[in-house]
Chains A and B, each alone.
Chain A
Amino acid sequence: MTTSNPQLNSHGELIHLLSIEGLSRDILHNILDRAEPFTAVAEREVKKVPLMRGKSVFNLFFENSTRTRTTFEIAAKRLSADVINLNINTSSAAKGESLLDTVDNLAAMQADMFVVRHASSGAPYLIAQHLAATGRDHIHVVNAGDGRHSHPTQGLLDMYTIRHYKKDFTQLTVAVVGDVLHSRVARSQLHALTTLGVPEIRLVGPRTLLPAAAAQMIPGAPLRVCNDLADGLRGADVVMMLRLQNERMNGALLPSTQEYFKSWGLTPEKLALAKPDAIVMHPGPMNRGVEIDSSVADGRQAVILPQVTFGIAVRMAVMSMLAGGAQ
């Protein structure tokens, strides 16, 4: 029975980034600290540092996502790594090759890092465990989103953003609004916020989009379930909106986008219930007029574009920490 956390080595150091669950406050701050100088790299004339020169990063996307793949690609290239992009659902998997066969083949091409996105929760764990079992754990795995489970670099860039604007986590009230049930982003945020000491986290949404055991889903987390948006927003310092996937919009979970927007969409009037200096975040891509009103998305409290910028720096921090040699 596997009980040890496969993303840490025997010294408790990070060898893969699979989930934020199980990472200490020190490791999280260490990653955020490390990201800080990388934000300046983008300002330089030559937007590159040589930390991963000669390393091969394979972007293994079993589920399409141009945006996330691009941010990892930019981060790796700014670290001077060689990047190989593979859209697996249009290649080997379609020909019936198993996930681990694909991994074995790419590992044989001397990969140093796999950036993995997969539609099934836990797929990056399977890959990391397989690499360990076959003596190839010098290849690092970064989870770029697995099913509903985890999207740790998104969670980290969100924490970077909050720290940038709010400094101290231990006084904050954070509202996470929308489709928590299906969201790997939300799960990563909840683990990170809890570990960083946020005293109140509200899960806000209709019951069909919240897990059945929502308040207990993260051991020790200060979670409060709000089925009313106004309740959830009142006095909040940070409002984290979640994307509503198209396929969930009309059916047995929700009757229509119009009704969703009316009850759960973030409008200027609703946002006025939060603290005046509250920030509004969104992992993108946004559905304007569904989960968020354009005037909020483009308003002064929105930090959605800075999130994207910080995302590159945070991914550089993670990748260089894992594969960049001396820390």
Chain B
Amino acid sequence: MKIAIQHGRVIDPASGLDQPTNVYVADGKIVGVGETAPGGFRAEGVLDASGCIVCPGLIDLSARLREPGFEYRATLESEMAAAAAGGVTRLVCPPDTDPPLDEPGLVEMLKHRARQPGFAHVHPMGALTIGLAGQRLTEMAELAEAGCIAFGQANHSIIDTQVLMRAMQYAATFGFSVWLQPQDAHLAKGGVAHEGAVSARLGLAGIPVIAETVALSTYLQLARETGVRLHIRRLSSAAGLALIRAARADGLAVTCDVTINHIHLCDDHIGFFNPHTRLDPPLRSAMDRDALAAGLADGSIDVLCSDHTPVDDDAKQVPFAEAETGATGLELLLPLTLQWAADHGVPLPRALARITADPARILGLDRGCIKPGVPADLCVFDPQGSHTVSRERLKSQGKNTPFLGRQLAGEVRYTLIDGHMAYSADRLL
């Protein structure tokens, strides 16, 4: 189908394009950008993007789909609908499914299930160790062939540093990336909230910042030693960010991301034990949050991700410490990016880069851009349109988010995936 997207403000952070113009789509690909259609192009459908922004489809570096194993929490169908409604066209799913993504058959099955029109492109992350147990390496080469884009441990640590080093060496042998969340398992043991004044007052066991920095220091040194390409997931503290900056200044090519929760919220938002704020890593102090938001603006942090984690109500309607960690996020990634940009005076193209071009760069893909020849993965949104986050509105099966009840600007109008209309706000009318 040939589609012309007309009269929108087209922002392509990768090329620096930011102007009112048209985008032309044919056979699932972008075939032209400009005032006039490419020769021979006859639009079969026209999308009016007046007042809207047309940008590359969002790329989310961390979104749990809960398949296989946790279908009572979410299914591929429900979460793909959420992704499309959120303008997300490509995502990486962490390996902590049940069973974990530690063997090629599981990865092939997931890729196969996700290969449907209107579904976002799914990049499984392979488990670095079997069962995420931190003892035996997975068949990384086989897993990569099956479709794994990187290797990691999700929320699980590798406690044995020798195993971690060998896992990095082995991954580096093939040029695979290793993605790790820095948290020392022993220092974080038993903790449920940031160790600080709030956790002390509420009587919640603390996870100190040092749990992040001790692990991060180890990872950075091992990355330097092994030469592996290291991506740090879900940074949570100002001190952690300082370590990343220092390592980069020292020549290490490390990248990192932060979640929408951690640039907007801090431990004060726990309030009266709100289980929606039970997250991993924990929400830290206001000072940490502000440092992360600033680090994302200046590029010290490469990417903003949703860390989408659907949790069922039964697992959240329990006392804070017993609640499962995680929050739904696919449908909040865009509005919370816009909110962050507005709060911190970040120009829109740079803000959108953090959820399009920058994650594409980390994935090593020529995607997340608007130019002839690439698949037509596009998001058209109304930056002024606003809505209140509510359980009813969320398409994800996970209704758990600390942002419930918040008024957020940024309404997705259309999401195109491979030129296919994956979501249209018009259809709701």
Contact = CB atoms under 8 A, between A and B. Distances in A.
Contacts of B195: 211-213
Contacts of B200: 211-214, 216-217
Interface in B304-323: 314, 317-322
Contact of B197 (A98, A99, A146, A217): A217
Given A121-B203, A212-B200, A1 B208 contact: no
Given A2-B272, A5-B272, A217 B201 contact: yes
B319 A213 contact: no
A125 B208 contact: no
Contacts of B294: none
Contacts of B318: 98-100, 120, 126
A283 interface: no
A120 B320 contact: yes
A26 to B, nearest CB: 22
B317 A121 contact: no
A177 to B, nearest CB: 17
A150 B269 contact: no
Nearest to A148: B203
A126 B323 CA distance: 11
Contacts of B375: none
B202 A149 contact: yes
B321 A147 contact: yes
Nearest to A184: B203
B34 interface: no
Interface in B52-75: none
Contacts of B320: 120-122
A105 to B, nearest CB: 15
A146 B321 CA distance: 12
A199 B271 CA distance: 27
B319 A120 contact: yes
B208 A212 contact: yes
A126 B402 contact: no
Nearest to B321: A120
A147 B205 CA distance: 10
Given A212-B200, A212-B206, A120 B402 contact: no
A61 to B, nearest CB: 15
A3 interface: yes
Interface in A82-103: 98-100
A51 interface: no
B201 A187 contact: yes
Interface centre among A100, A129, A212, A218 (most CB of B within 10 A): A212
Nearest to B318: A99
Nearest to A182: B203
A21 interface: yes
Contacts, number: 90
Main secondary structure of the interface of B (DSSP, over half): loop
B196 interface: yes
B274 interface: yes
A126 B201 contact: no
B35 to A, nearest CB: 46
A121 B197 contact: no
A281 B202 CA distance: 23
B38 interface: no
Interface in A276-312: none
A120 B193 CA distance: 13
A1 B203 contact: no
Contact of B201 (A2, A21, A129): A21
Contacts of B201: 21, 187, 217-219
A125 B272 contact: yes
B405 to A, nearest CB: 6
Interface in A199-233: 211-214, 216-219
A2 B402 CA distance: 10
A6 interface: yes
Nearest to B210: A212
Nearest to A217: B200
A219 B208 CA distance: 20
B404 interface: yes
A298 B195 CA distance: 38
Given A213-B196, A217-B197, A3 B202 contact: no
Given A121-B204, A121-B320, A148-B203, A2 B271 contact: yes
A118 interface: yes
A2 B274 contact: yes
Given A5-B272, A122-B272, A212-B195, A99 B319 contact: yes
A97 to B, nearest CB: 12
B174 interface: no
Given A120-B322, A122-B321, 9 more contacts: A2-B271, A122-B273, A125-B273, A126-B319, A146-B203, A148-B203, A149-B203, A211-B199, A212-B208
Interface of B: 195-197, 199-206, 208, 269, 271-275, 314, 317-322, 402, 404-406
9 contacts: A1-B406, A120-B320, A120-B321, A121-B204, A146-B203, A148-B204, A150-B203, A211-B199, A219-B197
Interface of A: 1-3, 5-6, 21, 98-100, 118, 120-123, 125-126, 129-130, 146-150, 184, 187, 211-214, 216-219
Please list the 7 inter-chain residue pairs (A to B) with the smallest Cβ-Cβ separation, ordered nearest first.
A122-B273, A148-B203, A149-B203, A120-B319, A211-B200, A217-B200, A216-B197
